[in-house]
Amino acid sequence: MAKKLFVSNKDETVRMFRNDFLEKLSHVHYTVPLYIFLPVILYFLYKSIFVLQLSFFAVIGNFLLGIVVWTFTEYMLHRFVFHLELPGRIGKRIHFIFHGVHHDYPSDSKRLVMVPSVSIPLAALFYFLFRWIIGANAVAPFFCGFLAGYLFYDMLHYAVHHFNLKSKFWLELKHHHMLHHYSDSKKGFGVSTTFWDLVFRTMFTSRKDRNQTDATAS
């Protein structure tokens, strides 16, 4: 009999912190990232066009590049940071707080998008890193694309767990992510795209992989 890869598949939660304030911070409604980062995207888009007066091709090119870089960042964070399991009790605790709780309670609707206490510092860190690499002008439209990719990832992650998706495109992404949860958590790290799983050979390919999502994932 296959090992159960989750504690509960219902929309329920588990307490992570004894401190009430920290516990409250660990819950977030899935629309919160939109309220935080859409204005940031609009600001940098305005800056790109009206302040820096970048050309149409510079704005579009850097925007699209930002999306591509996000998909790579998403894959790397998920594979090497979220699934990093350091030794000892402290290592297990850190892993549980960062990502393990999501695998134990995959349908917990308040822990499906990144909390602002993590997403805002990470966004600032990435902004200054990219500004240092590509310069103050190019980073404006690039960061728009990077944040747009992040928002797409967060909204899609919520959708594959809670929305009744219909089209073949969305269902393929949902099935890919469900396999990550219910079949093999060491494969299928991409959420918004399967491209990097193909590149780094962490794609589900065997018939056994493709058939192991059952009623628990629906």
For 180-205, how does the pLDDT look when each residue is reduced to its tens digit (9 = 90+)? 999 999 999 999 999 999 999 999 98
Specify if 14 maps to a domain: no
For residue 134, the tally of other CB atoms under 10 A from its CB is 16
Domain ranges, residue 144: 31-167
* Residue 95 · residue 103 · CB < 8 Å: no
Specify if 217 maps to a domain: no
Please give the torsion angle defined by the CA atoms of residues 37, 41, 42 and 47, in that order, rounded to the nearest 10 degrees. Answer: 140
Number of domains in the chain: 1
What backbone phi and psi angles, to 5 degrees, belong to 139? -70, -25
> At CA 45, angle to CA 42 and CA 47, rounded to 5?
110
* Mean pLDDT score across all residues of the chain: 90
How many Å apart are CA 156 and CA 125, to the nearest integer?
A: 23
Tens digits of residue pLDDT in 8-59: 778 888 888 888 888 898 899 999 999 999 999 999 999 999 999 999 999 9
Specify if 187 maps to a domain: no
Task: Provide the CA 13 distance to its chain's centre, in angstroms.
Answer: 19
Specify if 79 maps to a domain: yes
- pLDDT > 90: percent of the chain: 67
Q: Of the given ranges (75-89, 163-177, 201-215), which has the lowest mean pLDDT?
A: 201-215
For residue 107, the tally of other CB atoms under 10 A from its CB is 18
Specify if 111 maps to a domain: yes
How many Å apart are CA 169 and CA 210, to the nearest integer?
A: 16
Specify if 205 maps to a domain: no
Specify if 24 maps to a domain: no
Q: Which residue in 128, 130, 125, 148 sits closest to 45, CA to CA?
A: 148
C-alpha distances (whole Å) from 178 to each of 108, 110, 168, 189 are 14, 18, 15, 11
Amino acid letter at 60? I
Specify if 97 maps to a domain: yes
